[in-house]
Amino acid sequence: MNHLDCRGLQCPMPIVRLALRVQELSAGDQLTVAATDPAFPADITAWAEMTGHQLLSFEDGECLTATIEVVQ
């Protein structure tokens, strides 16, 4: 599984980095993103809906962690 560390970055940078990283992946690949930005839950949900990628899981806590599956 692929990992992307966006801890310490503020909106919109976690989503910008996520979008760039997804371009390097293939359909079916999974990517786990770690972030601390309070806007990240809403941002990644909206991003997944807009792009068609699947949000597989989301864990709330001090570090927010989302796993997506690339759909292309």
> Looking at the annotation, which residues are catalytic?
11
What is the 3-state composition of the chain as percent helix, strand, coil, each rounded to the nearest 5? Answer: 30, 30, 40
Q: How far apart are CA 23 and CA 14, in angstroms?
A: 15
AA identity, residue 52: G
